Structure 1
Amino acid sequence: MTTDVTVHPAERHLTGPLLDARLVVERGTFRLDLPLTINPGEVVALLGPNGAGKSTALRALAGLLSLSAGHLTLAGRELDNPSRRTWTPTEQRRIGVVFQDYLLFPHLSALDNIAFGPRRRGVNRQQARRQAADWLERMGLAEHARRKPRQLSGGQAQRIALARALAVDPALLLLDEPLAALDARTRLDTRAQLQQHLAAHRGATLLVTHDPLDALVLADRLVIIEHGQVVQEGDAATITAQPRTDYVARLVGLNLYRGRASGHTVLLTDTFRLTTAEQHDGDVFVAFPPSAVALHPNHPDGSPRNSWPATITGIQPNGDNLRVQLAGPIDLAADITPLAAAQLHLVPGQRVWAAVKATETRAYPAAPQ
């Protein structure tokens, strides 16, 4: 069944972002300062390490925390602005939320869980249940209308929670780790279904997640925060091509270093240099994937410019390969096949030689520190 897309009257004359906010929240020694805009129909993923401020941002948008400063405007309506003493309670905000654990009402059927939102907004019981039945059909769960949450699978519960959030016609949809509670197989299928439903949602969507794959598949744009501040923002291609912090590099699976370039040479430490394919002068980042690192028992033949002795500090499975952690003049990760690891007899504490071809590196300008 196709989804009819309607435009709320309050949004018809909007020409800018649907969400326009600067979220400033001070809690003890922690300070979140997050400028955030989301356009109609856009999905933005908010990523960051634990303690970065993701949950604080979500709670501020939902009205569970008041701003210390800044502003929050949604669909042309100012919801929170401390300087003007403007504050809008949660229940009066056009926001739908899907929590990590879904938080479905255990005593209500799937149908009545979805109907709950419209009922709270003044829709009569019969009309609310009709809307809920329509959402169940859209989610492919019409036959589960009478089931209680305990009778649903994880993927089904996630779709019911999503339908409940969308049934109130939210201008802003907040997704808090919506796939984290699912097993790997269910997560794969549910992610594809979620992608379809988000594509049909004409409001703004903010996805809070730790999972880079969820962000890359579902989001149009990524906003990455650390210590309450935005450290990088852009589409997936931009972020994965040029990470700018160690967290972002780990997120996209790259080795990342900062150094001082002169032509094709980048000085990373007082004594360690890498040769790169690109020429630069000044502060740069150098990135390369773990798959670009070759390991040798002795100094490699041909004396490649980028080769150095290193010590193995750890070996872990990584998909079909092994991820080898190395310490030396620089710390790095290398991905090798199990066969190569067996041939090299790799064990923690072992000394090896690491080599990276200049053509496998990527160098790009960094802002001066």
Structure 2
Amino acid sequence: MTLDAHVVVTRPAFTLDVPLSVAAGEVVALLGPNGAGKTTALRALAGLTPMSGGRITLRGTPLHPLPAEARPIGMVFQDYLLFPHLTALDNVAFGPRCQGVPKAEARRMAAALLDRVGLAAYAAAKPRRLSGGQAQRVALARALAVRPGLLLLDEPLAALDAHTRLEIRSQLRRHLADFDGATVLVTHDPLDAMVLADRLIVIEHGTVVQQGPPAEVARHPRTDYVARLVGLNLYRGVAGGTGVKVGEVLLHASEELDGPAFVAFPPAAVALYRSRPDGSPRNLWHARIEGIERHGDNVRVHLDGPLTAFADITPAAVADLDLTPGQRIWASVKATETHAYPA
């Protein structure tokens, strides 16, 4: 592994304890709710937040004893933090100059990096003349200019509008693919994580609760936070064959298991009925409508009862069923759309 770390930061009401390994050329995204410790972990890797314990080793060299300025790390901050009085070229050249590179050589390196991120024409522009997407690319070029072994990205797309974000996300993915060091990305956006990262590490309350390739995490969430992130209803129960007992409800799934299990299904798989449906579907429960809201092109119905669940249905279905908050309703989901896996 290029990066082999165990980050421990202890505060009066919070402890961050995160093991973290990243291979050369790999992009790892740290995901988690607000206050989980994502940015604290990133700042500890950079040397901006003191660690209470643990270690940070990069390419076999211990970094944790070193001050921030001595670590071979490039960082892109959420607000980019470009120097307002410097041109884009001099912002990028700043890091190499601090490392002792002669001015002419540093400016040549900076010009090459600006060309690489498509901003050669903006070399003389100061940050106030740059758009959000251009500023993000200058910040990335500045981080790469120090030839880091570790690249840290703190919510690098958060300051961009939706249209710019789409374009810059795809460009950033290409730039990261060309970087041969380790990359750690902090984001709250699951789409950024799924597109940019090779592996996800989910942090809740300062500890790792799940990690793996994006597709595996999306298919098999292990906490409510991850389930909400990837848009699934998730429950923990006890499996026996194809059935998983969740409280008083027996859910039948596509898989056969025995013992503690998770069971999950998408909100779009939930069907709603005003009266008990004929034929008694296998996965059926009586629920109360807790709330109704728009969700993209559909309507999301919040269900309370023996299973708390989300159901995504069309506006036409809401009208046909005459659904209102507080109403009692029957809910069901097909066994073929219900998936179980070991807890």
What TM-score comes out, normalization by structure 1 length? 0.91
- The 8 Å contact of residues 249 and 285 in structure 2, kept in 1 or not, is answered as no
Post-superposition shift, 1:272? 2.1
Post-superposition shift, 1:223? 0.5
| CA–CA separation in structure 2 for the residues paired with 1:119 and 1:348 | 63
Post-superposition shift, 1:27? 1.2
SS at match of 2:263: strand
Structure 2 residue 301 is the aligned partner of structure 1 residue 317 = no
Structure 2 residue 84 is the aligned partner of structure 1 residue 106 = yes
Deviation track 1:114-158 (CA, whole Å, cap 9, x = no partner) reads: 111111111111111111111111111111111111111111111
Instruction: Report how many residues are paired.
Output: 343
Letter in 2 for 1:132: A
| CA–CA separation in structure 2 for the residues paired with 1:348 and 1:225 | 34
Letter in 2 for 1:343: D
| CA–CA separation in structure 2 for the residues paired with 1:316 and 1:152 | 38
Aligned to 1:43: 27
Which stretch of the first structure deviates more once superposed, 37-46 or 22-31?
22-31
Post-superposition shift, 1:108? 0.9
Q: Map residues 203-242 of structure 1 onto 2, 5 A cutoff.
A: 203-242=181-220
Structure 2 residue 75 is the aligned partner of structure 1 residue 73 = no
Aligned to 1:287: 264
Post-superposition shift, 1:162? 0.5
Match of 1:159 among 128, 137, 141: 137
Aligned to 2:38: 54
Structure 2 residue 108 is the aligned partner of structure 1 residue 130 = yes
| CA–CA separation in structure 2 for the residues paired with 1:315 and 1:147 | 49
- The 8 Å contact of residues 6 and 20 in structure 2, kept in 1 or not, is answered as yes
| CA–CA separation in structure 2 for the residues paired with 1:152 and 1:67 | 36
Structure 2 residue 180 is the aligned partner of structure 1 residue 202 = yes
| CA–CA separation in structure 2 for the residues paired with 1:155 and 1:349 | 46
Q: Map residues 1-369 of structure 1 onto 2, 5 A cutoff.
A: 17-80=1-64, 87-269=65-247, 271-366=248-343
Deviation track 1:55-106 (CA, whole Å, cap 9, x = no partner) reads: 11011100012221111111221011xxxxxx10111000011011111111
| CA–CA separation in structure 2 for the residues paired with 1:347 and 1:141 | 53
SS at match of 1:178: coil
| CA–CA separation in structure 1 for the residues paired with 2:304 and 2:107 | 61
Letter in 1 for 2:274: P
Deviation track 1:8-66 (CA, whole Å, cap 9, x = no partner) reads: xxxxxxxxx11011111111131111110111100000011111111110111000122
Post-superposition shift, 1:277? 2.4
| CA–CA separation in structure 2 for the residues paired with 1:100 and 1:277 | 43
Letter in 2 for 1:141: L
| CA–CA separation in structure 2 for the residues paired with 1:142 and 1:101 | 22
SS at match of 2:50: coil
What runs of 5+ residues in structure 1 fail to find an aligned partner? 1-16, 81-86
| CA–CA separation in structure 1 for the residues paired with 2:163 and 2:216 | 29
Post-superposition shift, 1:302? 1.7
| CA–CA separation in structure 1 for the residues paired with 2:177 and 2:67 | 28
| CA–CA separation in structure 2 for the residues paired with 1:70 and 1:241 | 32
Percent of pairs with identical residues? 66
